[in-house]
Amino acid sequence: MIGATDRQVLWQVKIPLAVPVMMLGLNQTIICGIAMLVIAALVGTNRLEQIVYVGLSHGDFDVGIIAGLGMAIIAITIDRMTSAWSRRRQQQLGLSVS
């Protein structure tokens, strides 16, 4: 690019254009981490993931569904927050938002 340093091209062109893809990766990483809560119960935690494990191991549908819904609400909330941030950032940069 004529008239711009490599640093300017990186910070003013390449990174802003890559924001949607980077946010998608961050979003998927967070959702995958929340999905790992059930596996974390097997190593002896004592929070939400332990409630899921107790519900599954004892066949207690009520406990399992409440803990599962709690995890789903957390995942949906985080998904919506990161999506909204990404959309807002794209609008600030003048990129098309679909």
In a domain, 16, yes or no: no
For the stretch 21-77, pLDDT in tens is 888 898 889 888 888 877 777 777 777 777 777 777 788 888 878 888 888 898 899
In a domain, 65, yes or no: yes
In a domain, 85, yes or no: yes
CB burial of residue 8 (10 Å; 0-12, 13-18, 19+):
exposed
In a domain, 70, yes or no: yes
In a domain, 83, yes or no: yes
Domain with 53, as residue range(s), is 46-93
In a domain, 1, yes or no: no
In a domain, 72, yes or no: yes
| pTM for this entry | 0.67
The total of structural domains in the chain comes to: 1
